């Protein structure tokens, strides 16, 4: 079973994207977008692709600054919730407090300030490793917590330049929690021994992306996912920013 299709996970990610902030950690999708924007001076005429967009918060945030944004995710349920919010302007969901008890929540485009952005974005279910030909000519491709959930991350990285406009940016964020249920171990980019030596994911990224990209920045971004009222995942993702060399 795809864990990203369960009701519990959907609720957790709706809260992660649109709900409360915990322990003083800023909203993660918004923080990711803010860190991307400093590499652009004129945003309004540009195109962006949010790959692994989940339930869509970063896609909406990018639409504040880009003329068109495509949000793509492998999970049909994630995409459906993003589309529902876009089209109906409201989503209601529950988050667990303890045991069988839940808290009822509601998110609206109006409260988020996204009402005017609906025509700038488009959500689609899709496979990041096998995108349709029309996904191209982007000034920015953002992959939030995606790379360690792909079945063939090296293939993805070695072909993603075909989707960018000249000198476009690729931004990757991930806590690098490699798991064999998503990626066979021999396809992990890092977190394992390679030729008898420890290989980090950043080193693996460099091997896949050089020389088509140059590394512009690496930084840490924390995030918190609520599971219950008293249980949270507190993680630190690494963001790497790459610019195409042609």
Inter-residue contact 91 to 79 (CB < 8 Å): no
**CATH number, domain containing residue 215:** 3.40.50.150
Q: What is the mean pLDDT of the chain?
A: 94
Inter-residue contact 246 to 171 (CB < 8 Å): no
| Domain span holding position 187 | 3-244
pLDDT digits (tens, 9 = 90+) for 32-49: 999 999 898 765 569 999
Question: In total, how many domains does the chain have?
Answer: 1
Residues of the chain with pLDDT under 70: 1-6, 42-45
Inter-residue contact 146 to 183 (CB < 8 Å): no
The residue among 133, 166, 137, 170 whose CA lies nearest residue 153 is 170
Q: From residue 187, give the alpha-carbon distance in Å to each of 32, 134, 147.
A: 26, 27, 11
Q: From residue 85, give the alpha-carbon distance in Å to each of 80, 91, 129, 158, 191.
A: 9, 6, 26, 34, 37
The pLDDT score that the predictor gives to residue 15 is 97
**Pairing between β-strand 138-144 and β-strand 90-98 as defined by DSSP bridges:** unpaired
Tell me the two tokens of residue 201.
């994911």
pLDDT digits (tens, 9 = 90+) for 103-143: 999 999 999 999 999 999 999 999 999 999 999 999 999 99
CB atoms within 10 A of CB 89: 16
């Amino acid at each position: 079973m795809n864990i990203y299709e369960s009701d519990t996970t959907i609720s957790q990610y709706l809260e992660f994207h649109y709900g409360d902030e915990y322990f003083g950690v800023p909203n993660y999708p918004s923080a990711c977008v803010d860190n991307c924007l400093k590499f652009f001076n004129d945003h309004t005429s540009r195109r962006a692709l949010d790959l692994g967009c989940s339930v869509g918060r970063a896609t909406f945030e990018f639409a504040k600054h880009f003329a068109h944004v495509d949000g793509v995710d492998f999970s049909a349920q994630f995409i459906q919730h993003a589309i529902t919010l876009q089209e109906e302007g409201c989503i209601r969901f529950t988050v667990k407090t303890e045991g069988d008890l839940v808290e009822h929540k509601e998110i609206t485009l109006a409260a988020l300030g996204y009402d005017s952005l609906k025509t700038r974005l488009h959500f689609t279910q899709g496979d990041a490793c096998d995108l349709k030909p029309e996904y191209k000519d982007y000034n920015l491709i953002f992959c939030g917590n995606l790379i360690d959930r792909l079945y063939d991350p090296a293939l993805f990285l070695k072909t993603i330049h075909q989707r960018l406009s000249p000198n476009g940016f690729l931004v990757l964020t991930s806590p690098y929690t490699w798991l064999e249920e998503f990626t066979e171990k021999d396809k992990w980019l890092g977190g394992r021994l390679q030729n008898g030596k420890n290989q980090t994911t950043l080193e693996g990224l460099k091997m896949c992306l050089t020389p088509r990209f140059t590394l512009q920045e690496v930084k840490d971004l924390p995030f918190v996912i609520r599971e219950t009222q008293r249980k949270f995942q507190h993680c630190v993702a690494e963001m790497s920013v790459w610019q195409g060399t042609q």
